Amino acid sequence: MREVFTNVLSNAVKYSRDGGMIAISAASAQDGVTFHVADAGLGIPMEARSRIFTKFYRAPNVIEGIEGTGLGLYIVKAIVEKHGGEVTFDSGGKGTTFHIRMPLAAASASDGAVPSR
């Protein structure tokens, strides 16, 4: 899960140029927890949304000078799904929020901890 958060937060920082805000939050439910990472960056254009988790894909609005391989979100999705979770996003004209939903069983199995209630 460290890799998941490293990639999502790295993207939030890279695409929120000029000191844009990044907000991180979590919400628990009976069956799991959802983490939210919101930025005030470029946003994901409509035409790129269906491909954003594709290996080596980078959205066409990426500003020159922002480095990347197009693997980060592909890796995020693969790891989250391997743990039985789901990753989705919302993106308007500016900014993107990634939602990483993890079931409690996967969260406890990944670190050996027993969830508390």
pLDDT band for 62, please (50, 70, 90 cuts).
low
pLDDT at 61: 66
pLDDT surpassing 90 at residue 44:
no
Least-confidence region, from 14-23, 28-37, 92-101: 14-23
Q: How many residues are listed for the chain in this entry?
A: 117
- Residue whose C-alpha is closest to residue 101's, from 13, 42, 37, 16: 37
Q: What is the pLDDT of residues 67-106, one digit of tens each?
A: 777 889 999 999 999 999 999 999 977 899 999 999 987 5
The C-alpha angle with vertex 54 and arms to 14 and 71, in degrees rounded to 5, equals 45
Spatial distance between the Cα atoms of 80 and 84, rounded to a whole number of angstroms: 7
